[in-house]
Structure 1
Amino acid sequence: MTGVHVRSAEPRDHADVAVLHHREWGGPYVVVHDTQYDLRELPTLVAVDGAGELAGALVYRLADDGLEVVSLAASSPGLGAGSALLAAAEAVALAAGMGRLWLVTTNDNLSALRFYQRRGLRIVAVDAGAVDRARRLKPTIPHVGEDDIPLHDELLLERRLTPPGGRP
């Protein structure tokens, strides 16, 4: 995406980010690793295109020696906003002294698996049945996901970070 700029979300971004989260997750709540998060309460990076329009948003938290990507969504996938947001999240993690960038996705999300693995993240764990458990907190999670794949499991992906001139 030519001319995309990533910055911390500002109050003027909240409505557009809310629309994006409603499209992607059905609202501001996501459930990962048996925890429900309100995306409105976590730090958010936004990608803005040259016209000043929201191109994507990445919600994160700093925990467990790393930056967890809680949500990453692009307004129009495939144009580079996701890559720019992920690179900015890595910079945030390194600035905070974190040793890894990590996230959870679901077993059906083949496009996300492709995206993240192409950017150096590796599958390090599978939590069988995690999505089934998550439905207790968020019953609107579908039973069948992308490509008609039954939706049951969470996959943990991570990439160890190396500070510039340092060791991982």
Structure 2
Amino acid sequence: MRLGALEGKCRKETDALIRENWGGPMIVSRGKLTDTRGLPGLAAEEDGRLLGYLLYRVSGKDCEVVVLEALEQNRGVGTALLDLAGIRAKEAGCNRLWLITTNDNAHAIRFYQKYGMELRAVHIGAVDKARNLLKPGIPMTGEDGIPIRHEFEFELRLS
């Protein structure tokens, strides 16, 4: 597996995946719409095949992981991308790596905790509000038929 900056062919493939899998390119997090097309990113690839990607935003001392998707599970793709994001965040002077996932995403919630991230906050009704005010296309239900209503904020302290 090779890790690096998200560019060229991988960037085009990622933009298409975000449209398909995330209803993108606009992503909602903490009541803000973010256009993923302008964000820096990281890619994991092997033999010319995209294995996963991560898009992030640095703001002051914080680095937000806006999108993380491992296209192949149980191969260490998500872990490798988060590791590299942490390195990039430290290089940018950040002391916190954080992200939002939704209440239905049990797989991600397990993964982030296993990775060492702490649950920082639960934003009750945040997805309902975002659906009503910012992005009506957010699905009503997610994994396992669980209603998507809340945002879970995870963080990893870098210093």
TM-score (norm 2): 0.94
Name the counterpart of 1:149.
146
CA-atom RMSD in angstroms: 1.2
% same residue: 44
The one-letter code of the counterpart of 1:123 is L
Q: Does 1:78 align with 2:93?
A: no
State the Cα distance separating 1:137 from its structure 2 match: 1.2
The one-letter code sitting in structure 2 at the alignment partner of 1:126 is V
Offset of residue 151 of structure 1: 1.1
**Deviation digits for residues 87-135 of structure 1 (CA, Å, limit 9, x no counterpart):** 0000001111111110011111100001111000010111111001111
On the 8 A contact 1:24/1:73 being kept in 2, the answer is no
User: Unaligned 5+ residue runs, structure 2?
Assistant: none
Instruction: Say whether residues 1:17 and 2:14 are aligned partners.
Output: yes
- Comparing both structures, which one devotes a greater share of its residues to helix? 2
Match of 2:95 among 99, 104, 117: 99
SS at match of 1:141: coil
Q: What residue in structure 2 maps to residue 165 of structure 1?
A: none
Shift of 1:18: 1.7
Instruction: Measure how far apart 1:26 and its partner are.
Output: 2.0
Q: Could you say which residue in structure 1 is the equivalent of 2:155? A: 158
- Distance in 2 separating the partners of 1:139 and 1:34: 13
Matches of 2:41 and 2:105 in 1, distance apart? 22
Q: How does 1:21-100 map to 2 (within 5 A)?
A: 21-49=18-46, 51-100=47-96
For the 8 Å contact 1:44–1:57, the answer to whether it is kept is yes
The correspondence for 2:115, drawn from 114, 119, 125, is 119
The secondary structure found in structure 2 opposite 1:151 is coil
